[in-house]
Amino acid sequence: MKTSGIGVGALVFAAATQAFAQSPPTRDVAEAPATPVRAPDKAYELGVEAGYTQGFGSFVADPRVGAGPGATVGANIGYRIDPHWSVGASGQYQGFGSSGERAATLRGMTADFQGTYHFRPYDRLDPYVAFGAGYRLFAESPAGNAPATLTHGIELGRVQVGLDVRPSESVAVSPVIGVDLNLFPWRSGGGPAAAQPTTTSPSAFVFAGVEGRFDVGGGRVNRPAP
């Protein structure tokens, strides 16, 4: 599963990179990074991301689970309220390596609502921070005919930081890193023993990767005069 997840992530990133390369820039891409660029305003934002994920805490350390590092792909949609702020929803799909007591395919999924603040929206290098909360699902599928076990719960909080690199006014490519804190109160399937809750303590997942984003519609505004 880990290998297939990495493969899917690579395909998504390659497709996004090709699309970005074909997108006609509205400003000279060869300009210096410090050169001002018009910022999106009241625009829709469509993004894809791919990268590495790793869980920490008592849940992933449970010998019945044994989730190792893995790969993740995701997508998001948002609305740029003004040059600095946007709100939206995002989702990720993960494939984890297995190191537990039983051979199993381990998958994960998240769904979040988030807000994002851009610190330098009129520059080609624009650091930002996103924060939100949502839902996380973890599925263990043992080899053979054994039933799958589903563990799911609340993503209590999520923080992600990135750096938009803008080749044009409507396209951004960003290295990103994030962490979320989760609580898993519900566990079902896999038989009575497997379905017992693993822990009542929070667990964390980290993510590091690359995101590509298109700004669609709306307007593009210049930096306000001092």
pLDDT 10s digits, 154-181: 999 999 999 999 999 999 999 999 999 9
Q: For the chain, give every domain's residue range.
A: 2-219
pLDDT at 186: 85
Compare 109 and 67 and report the one with higher pLDDT. 109
pLDDT at 99: 67
Q: Which fold has domain 2-219?
A: Porin (2.40.160)
pLDDT at 199: 59
pLDDT at 144: 73
The DSSP code sequence of 156-217 is EEEEEEEEEEEEETTEEEEEEEEEEEEEEEEEEES-TTTTS---SS-EEEEEEEEEEEEEES
pLDDT at 195: 56
**Residue 5 φ then ψ, to 5°:** -65, -45
Average pLDDT over residues 78-101: 91
pLDDT at 191: 58
pLDDT over 80 (residue 84)? yes
Average pLDDT over residues 126-140: 95
pLDDT confidence of 146, banded at 50, 70, 90? confident
Average pLDDT over residues 77-83: 98
pLDDT over 50 (residue 147)? yes
Count CB-CB contacts under 10 A for residue 109.
16
pLDDT at 50: 98
Average pLDDT over residues 120-144: 92
pLDDT confidence of 189, banded at 50, 70, 90? confident
Could you give the CA distance from residue 108 to residue 153 in angstroms, rounded to a whole number?
12
- The structure tokens listed for 179 are 């962490």
CA neighbor of 40 nearest in space, from 179, 214, 206, 211: 214
